[in-house]
Structure 1
Amino acid sequence: MRPFFDSDIVVNFNLSEEAVQNEKRIIENNRRVLRDYQKEKLILEGKKNWDKFYNHYKSNFFKDRKWIKVEFDNIFKENNTFVESKSNTSVESKSNTSVESKSNTSVESKSNTSVESKSNTSVESKSNDKLKETETKSEGKLILEIGCGVGNSLIPLLLEYEDFNFIGIDFSKNAINILNDKWKSIVNRNNKLKEVQVVGETADVLMNSHKALVGDNKKYGKKYEKKIEKKNEKNTEKTHQNVEWTDKHILNGKIIEDHFSNGSSYDVYLIDDHSTSEQSENCSHMYEIKSYKKLGNLLKACVVDITVDEESSTNVCTFGTVDVILLIYVLSSVQPDKMIKVINNCYKYLKKGGYVLLRDYGLYDLTQVRFANKREKKISENFYVRGDKTFVYFFTTEYLHDLFCQNDLFEEVQNKYITRIVKNRKRHLEMKRIWVQSIFRKK
């Protein structure tokens, strides 16, 4: 994938001391905060406001977060080991080891499969394949996303990591309903593609067997080949007609996908607040499946308030069984005094050595500066309300470290700022975005 920040749209930048002082002055000058009754009303209506948000935007607001694989792939693939790449040697040695292990595994699996296929009947081999697939699913890592929304993080991972199990939880019932419908649609489309693949494979088998039988009888062979081709075309057309393609076209039996904008490695939405920002196009991965592929296993997606101890129970999953927890632009939407409850619940769900992967808004981000200039959005220090009445907090890396590492619950693996200048060509704007990205490991 092309690095999004290494392009003419998004470039990296270093925040100078002069810029820091300038932004700090603007934010500190904003001393006006909401009244207590306004704060209480917003807190009480938190779930209602998120339901309204998803009811209005559906799945068309946020971009699919393909950058998660780019940033955290080594966490997902390696067996609970993550080391910051300080030298090229360490990276090369890891890649060589993974390549060797994959090649050895593939050779062994191929040889074992060939022996089994010769000795067993076709019925037995099919049942064995199903059994193996079930075992793989059950043995795969368990990924829990807190604040999964409509699946902009979860679905790209489900399509990428076929051996993993996934659970998504969110505050909003509307978001969960949309996610479940969206995933069901993707699975159905994928199954239809499997039917197309089976039809094609059947036609190839018929053609090969025909050639073997006919041999040198060229005249008869050509006529029979045409019959098979026509039959294959009819079957393919019927299968394609059963698929409700909305954003694709089928030409000559091949699926032609619509063009989507490349370079979504970083979230560049939410420039001001939800109500005034540019909506991103819905780059759903369901339109990127060109042929049948194995998918990850979505165990469940359900409504849970992770800030309430009573709701964060074993109904989600058994405590101490999760390998990785995702907190992607979620902790910032929680009231500061309830953030520690989210951290404690993460600790309950994770295995020993499990990871929390976090991306969120950083102090002095453009959005915070704009809120400060408006002088009517501030709830408390670094905590604001958007136009749609949802919350946003702007973090420092030090604050995040204290949240996770107090009481000796987690150890810090990565905790850094990501600074990008995002160019909006249409509006001729250059926007300085600041995010925090962190990895914490359960002790």
Structure 2
Amino acid sequence: MHPYRMHTFRRVCLAFVTEHLHKLFVRLNSTGRRPPAPLGARILTSHDDIFQHNMWDHVQWTDEDKENARKKAEENSCVQIPLNEQGKFDVEACKYWNRFYETHQGKFFKNRKWLFNEFPELLPLGHESICGHESPSRNGGSGRETETGHNQSVDPSQQLKDENIAECHHLKDAVRVENQAAVQTTSFPGQHAAFRILEVGCGVGNSVFPIVESIKERDAFLYCCDFAPHAIQLVKGHPDYDQCVCHAFVCDISEETASFPFPPQSLDVILAVFVLSSIHPERMQGVVNRLSTYLKYGGIFLFRDYGRYDLSQLRFKKGRCLSENFYTRGDGTCVYFFSKDDVHTLFSNTGLEEIQNLEDRRLQVNRGKKVAMHRVWMQSKYQKVHLKTPPCPF
């Protein structure tokens, strides 16, 4: 291949590999694990059935629903906490959350068994062909064998395609070598694992232990951190905590000088479930920027958090608002409510590519009290790619 064409091809195809590697692997390996539709498939088709289940998926809001929600949020945010009183909720956030875990121990949240339905990327993937094709077998001569065993002349365009596919495999290996080289400069927990996950804001382990149970015997390793020391103490004291596959540590991810027990470019997955919402909006971008440096090329950032006009936002009373869509609870912990645009801006500004950015609207039902409540959550997946170039042309 001509040197110029080779250089251009390498540049274009490397981007293709890193951008599509994870998507292809998920598609090939998720059969039988994914729900019938993202975010569930229990659809309310008749209002008469509303109290038949505790939760309904993909609920459509009427214009009246939207306007009522907007008015409630506007009303409860019209009186904000004075600026000179707001600082403690940011500076002392660790104290408030540590007190929360001391009070509730491990009894407030349930284990997130839904994780692998919505985030199959948390499981180590297989080793199928990255390009989705196998290079054709060659007979060693100038012709190409057909199914009958006879030779026929080579189509130049097909030969170029075959060369491109082989080069694509080569570049996939180059990306893997680059990722591996980044973690071989120092010794760290989980260094020899082929697949590494970090959960930030792990709390008392409601995601940790379902993940630990699922990655055993899979050559995978989980890191989990929280800035509340009591939460990490509870994780380490749990009977299912296993240092062979998990390393829990105290870390305030909102601090610019936060340190981690692994090097940059060493993680396959970062999981943030109901954690970024607890951080001051002005710090969020820096947090995502710093965390993303620890992702490998092809690695993925999984995000789930509160959505704009969720029931919990509309229930706030006047005087609990810190800034637009950002509130403090009675125990001093804080919460932000995201829109799709918020999420996209947050991750795309870091240079990550959107795979999924969904607004999860559900109807939660109290069948005893005959009450239906609108819940809104955001669920997103963003991937770290190597170069911003057009996709590979095959």
Residue 139 (structure 1) shift: 3.5
- Show the counterpart of 1:387: 330
Pair 149,403 (structure 1): closer, same or farther in 2 beyond 3 Å:
same
**TM-score, length basis structure 1:** 0.59
- Show the counterpart of 1:40: 87
SS of 1:138's equivalent in the other structure is coil
- Show the counterpart of 2:340: 397
Which AA in structure 2 matches 1:141?
Answer: F
- Show the counterpart of 2:301: 356
> Is 1:437 paired with 2:386?
no
Structure 2 gap ranges (5+): 1-32, 43-51, 133-189, 386-394
> Is 1:331 paired with 2:276?
yes
> Is 1:425 paired with 2:380?
no
Structure 1 gap ranges (5+): 82-89, 91-135, 188-294
Output the CA distance in 1 between the equivalents of 2:109 and 2:117: 18
Matches within 5 A, 1:293-308: 297-308=244-255
- Show the counterpart of 1:8: 53
SS of 1:389's equivalent in the other structure is coil
Equivalent pairs, count = 277
Instruction: Write the deviation string for residues 86-130 of structure 1: whole angstroms up to 9, x where unpaired.
Output: xxxx9xxxxxxxxxxxxxxxxxxxxxxxxxxxxxxxxxxxxxxxx
Residue 78 (structure 1) shift: 3.1
Matches within 5 A, 1:65-214: 65-74=112-121, 76-78=123-125, 138-162=192-216, 163=218, 164-182=220-238, 185-186=239-240
* Structure with the bigger percentage of helix: 1
Output the CA distance in 2 between the equivalents of 1:403 and 1:417: 15
> Is 1:23 paired with 2:69?
yes
- The answer to whether the 8 A contact 2:209-2:240 is kept is no
Pair 78,427 (structure 1): closer, same or farther in 2 beyond 3 Å:
same
Q: Kindly report structure 1 stretches of 4+ aligned residues shifted beyond 4 Å.
A: 1-5
- Show the counterpart of 2:10: none
Instruction: Write the deviation string for residues 252-305 of structure 1: whole angstroms up to 9, x where unpaired.
Output: xxxxxxxxxxxxxxxxxxxxxxxxxxxxxxxxxxxxxxxxxxx89434111101
Instruction: Write the deviation string for residues 374-426 of structure 1: whole angstroms up to 9, x where unpaired.
Output: 1121000000001111010000011111111115x101100011111111234
Output the CA distance in 2 between the equivalents of 1:44 and 1:355: 30
Which AA in structure 2 matches 1:58?
Answer: Q
SS of 1:186's equivalent in the other structure is coil
Pair 43,137 (structure 1): closer, same or farther in 2 beyond 3 Å:
closer
- Show the counterpart of 1:378: 321
CA RMSD, Structure 1 to Structure 2 (Å): 2.5
Output the CA distance in 2 between the equivalents of 1:440 and 1:75: 14
Aligned sequence identity (%): 35
**TM-score, length basis structure 2:** 0.66
Matches within 5 A, 1:192-341: 297-311=244-258, 313=259, 315-341=260-286
